[in-house]
Amino acid sequence: MSEVVHFTRQGPVGIITVDYPPVNALGPGVREGILEAVDRGVADTQVRAMVLIGAGRSFIAGADIRGFGKGRPTVTRRTHDVLEASPKPVVAAIHGYALGGGLENALGCHYRIAVPGARVGLPEVLIGILPGGGGTQRLPRLIGPEAALEMIVSGRHVPAPEALELGILDELVEGGELRDAAVAFAMRVMDEPVLPRISERGIPDHDPGIFDAIRRRIARRARNQKAPWHCIRCVEIACSTPFEDGIRQERALFEELENSEEAKALRYAFFSEREAQRSPHVSRGTPARPVAAAAVVGAGTMGGGIAMTCADAGLPVKIMDKDPETLARGMERIGKTYAASVERGSLDAAGMAARLALIEPVDSYDAIAGADVAIEAVFEETGVKREVFETLDRVMKPGALLLTNTSALDIDEIAAATGRPEDVAGAHFFSPANVMKLLEIVRGERTSEEVLASVQALAKRLAKVGVVCGNCDGFVANRSRAPFNTEMVLLLEEGALPEQVDKAMVEFGYPMGPFAVGDLAGLDIGYAGRKRREAADPAVRPLPIADALVGMGRLGMKTGAGWYRYEAGSRTPHPDPEVAALIRRVSDESGAGRRDFDDEEIVQRLLFSSVNEACRIIEEGIARRAVEVDTMWLYGFGFPRYRGGLMYWADTVGVREVYGRIAAWHQRYGERWAPSPLLRRLAERGAPLTEAMTDM
């Protein structure tokens, strides 16, 4: 028998166990093993029913993503069909995940049962493909095309209780062993005269308008991509075509997607984000300190968001501020944000109450002294932060993690205010902290490996993507983004308008243009950092247009005007003639003249400046590998995932082309475009930017 699939018998029930750690992907030998096991069960006269189950932590997490794009032998017998064709009932027994090909095989089975904590889904769209193992043809027959469309186009993991309600599962196993329950279930159904086979079912009644409705709904989000549209097409085919023909068309559309640019980029994103979270700064197996209670110091925008993040993860958190009124306002804002989620339907009232119960406002350091982690989110001033850390050092229990949410300040200076710098690290959340998934974990000179491992574990617990990096002004994410922020304003001096730049970047794939994002975040935030950098370094290019806006009190959406103007109560940006006039005036004063830009030049000008800076950051060892930069751009800045990440995308343009452009702009615009030596070396060798690493 196969090494990765085992067949055993318990009385009249044959048990097929997939055992391919860590998540039972359908890797080499697994499909063959399942086929062989089903054949064996069918042939064995003592077997009257079968169970398909996963060993270890999961049922089957889907096809082996590493095998995609590599060519594979033609499949003559498909596991889902062979399972379904079995004359003896097969029960899928699901724990952990039944995703993609995992759920498709389960849909080939005659019955499906699961433990309440299991999740099922067809997440193929998230890696740029479609369910190519019959999922698009069976799921609509089982739960109706509307619910199937929603699942397949979103790719979401559906919790078992919901899957039961939808009709994907036949039963939840509330107590006891899943395997025993599955055997008992199999014995109950082994004498049923007719086996339920999904392929033989008709399509449930539905409104034919659902396809166009979902196309309209995803039009903006799915622009530049093929997979979501192909997914919809497949479900539409299921509704109008016999099963076998539908399967043929599903396969053809799957093959069209497998090697598409978007699928390759999304596979890269899948593996690189996992790689990025394994830091060369932290040896494998480094123990993490347990965290059962958290504290946040500073109840402003970020402190409130961080406290919510803790509560969302079920971690009790105390929040304090120097100012009782600010604390009360912070708690009010937290309450309002949760209430808005309840109104939107993304959270229920009980969930809101449970979260609020975990957040306790307190008015003294004594009240937080026993927490396992303190996260500081006070004003962005070294002096203020040092004072807070002096106090934390005095009051916090030994071993507590002392973390700062600074976006740019020197971690070592902050750590030096304590007698335990090894316990201090940066934990840089992105705004809004309860939404954005990136956590930049900044290692100070003296931060211990154990503390880094503990913050990595905390990130996971908080459902964040934690990436460790070194200490410098702006760390990796904001530092690599800073030249982009400069160039976007300089483009205005040279002839572009905010709405034109925003349109180019939205068409490239960002959910919002950078000027609209600036208005949302508040223009005073960038201003403060810019002034600090200008004061520290005379080579920093001033941005008179951006400064003038702040001077005019146009701080963004919160003041009703920034790069755009906003009508009361609305978040829709309107181009503003006053801004256009300001831009023209500054252009005229600079004497540089105005010219036209096309979208490609805008995109390249912004992103290449960041690629160049990212190469410097890697060269200096602040980031160690390109995957770290790419992961930060995906999760910190909304970079379009189907373009892989900043460095991956630059490779699709070509390292030599990128270098050539940067060198030309160096000639034209001066020192801020000086090519990074690492970039030059990569270009000389024709080596991909995604392979950039420190010490190369």
Helix axes 626-637, 477-494, angle to 10 degrees: 70
In the window 129-168, what residues touch ligand 3HC (CB under 6 A)? 131-133, 135
Tell me the C-alpha distance between 13 and 185, whole Å: 10
Tell me the C-alpha distance between 316 and 424, whole Å: 21
Among 81, 84, 104, 651, binds ligand 3HC (CB under 6 A): 104
In the window 587-646, what residues touch ligand 3HC (CB under 6 A)? none
Give the nearer residue to ligand NAI in terms of CB position, either 240 or 382.
382
The string of DSSP codes covering 485-541 is HHHHHHHHHHT--HHHHHHHHHHHT-SS-HHHHHHHH-HHHHHHHHHHHHHH-TTSP
Residue carrying the six token digits 């050539």:
660
Interface with ligand NAI, residue 281, by CB under 6 A:
no
Pick the piece of the chain touching ligand NAI (CB under 6 A) from 14-22, 61-69, 239-247, 382-390: 382-390
Residue 521's binding partner out of ligand 3HC, ligand NAI, none, with CB under 5 to 8 Å set by partner kind:
ligand NAI
Cβ atoms of 116 and 160 within 8 Å: the answer is: yes
Interface with ligand NAI, residue 517, by CB under 6 A:
no
Beta strands in 71-177 (DSSP E): 90-94, 97-99, 111-114, 119-121, 158-159, 171-172
Interface with ligand 3HC, residue 64, by CB under 6 A:
yes
Binding map of ligand NAI across residues 523-562, x = CB under 6 A, - = no contact = --x-------------------------------------
Give the nearer residue to ligand NAI in terms of CB position, either 320 or 689.
320
Helix or strand run (H / E) with residue 43: helix 30-43
Among 521, 523, 614, 623, binds ligand NAI (CB under 6 A): 521
Burial label, 541 (beta-carbon count in 10 A; 0-12, 13-18, 19+):
middle
Tell me the C-alpha distance between 658 and 610, whole Å: 11
Tell me the C-alpha distance between 418 and 150, whole Å: 52
Shortest spacing between CB 178 and ligand 3HC, in angstroms: 17
Pick the piece of the chain touching ligand NAI (CB under 6 A) from 80-88, 167-175, 239-247, 427-435: 427-435
Shortest spacing between CB 223 and ligand 3HC, in angstroms: 22
Interface with ligand 3HC, residue 61, by CB under 6 A:
yes
In the window 288-327, what residues touch ligand NAI (CB under 6 A)? 297-303, 321-323, 326
Q: Exactly one of 104, 258, 273, 376 is catalytic; which is it?
A: 104
Give the nearer residue to ligand NAI in terms of CB position, either 273 or 321.
321
Residue 63's binding partner out of ligand NAI, ligand 3HC, none, with CB under 5 to 8 Å set by partner kind:
ligand 3HC
Residue 140, preceding peptide bond in cis (omega within 30° of 0): no
Among 33, 54, 62, 144, binds ligand 3HC (CB under 6 A): 62
Q: Which of helix, strand or coil describes residue 563?
A: coil
Residue 97's binding partner out of ligand 3HC, ligand NAI, none, with CB under 5 to 8 Å set by partner kind:
ligand 3HC
Tell me the C-alpha distance between 534 and 580, whole Å: 25
Give the nearer residue to ligand 3HC in terms of CB position, either 115 or 127.
127
Interface with ligand 3HC, residue 65, by CB under 6 A:
yes
Burial label, 532 (beta-carbon count in 10 A; 0-12, 13-18, 19+):
middle
Give the nearer residue to ligand NAI in terms of CB position, either 386 or 461.
386
Catalytic: 380?
Answer: no
**Single-letter amino acid code for the residue at 324:** P
In the window 210-249, what residues touch ligand NAI (CB under 6 A)? none
Shortest spacing between CB 465 and ligand 3HC, in angstroms: 11
Tell me the C-alpha distance between 391 and 511, whole Å: 41
In the window 272-311, what residues touch ligand 3HC (CB under 6 A)? 274
Interface with ligand NAI, residue 448, by CB under 6 A:
no
Residues 6+ apart with CB under 8 A from 356: 311, 334, 335, 338
Binding map of ligand 3HC across residues 230-269, x = CB under 6 A, - = no contact = ----------------------------------------
Read off the DSSP letter of residue 287: P
Cβ atoms of 443 and 452 within 8 Å: the answer is: yes
Shortest spacing between CB 571 and ligand NAI, in angstroms: 17
Tell me the C-alpha distance between 128 and 48, whole Å: 40
Interface with ligand 3HC, residue 97, by CB under 6 A:
yes
Read off the DSSP letter of residue 314: T
Catalytic: 250?
Answer: no
Q: Exactly one of 32, 84, 124, 177 is catalytic; which is it?
A: 124
Total site size for ligand NAI, rule CB under 6 A: 26
Tell me the C-alpha distance between 644 and 659, whole Å: 20
In a 13 Å sphere around the CA of 58, the CA atoms on its Cβ side amount to 17
Residue 469's binding partner out of ligand 3HC, ligand NAI, none, with CB under 5 to 8 Å set by partner kind:
none
Shortest spacing between CB 135 and ligand 3HC, in angstroms: 6
Binding site for ligand 3HC (CB under 6 A): 22-23, 25, 61-66, 97, 99-101, 104, 123-124, 127, 131-133, 135, 274
The residues annotated as belonging to the active site are 104, 124
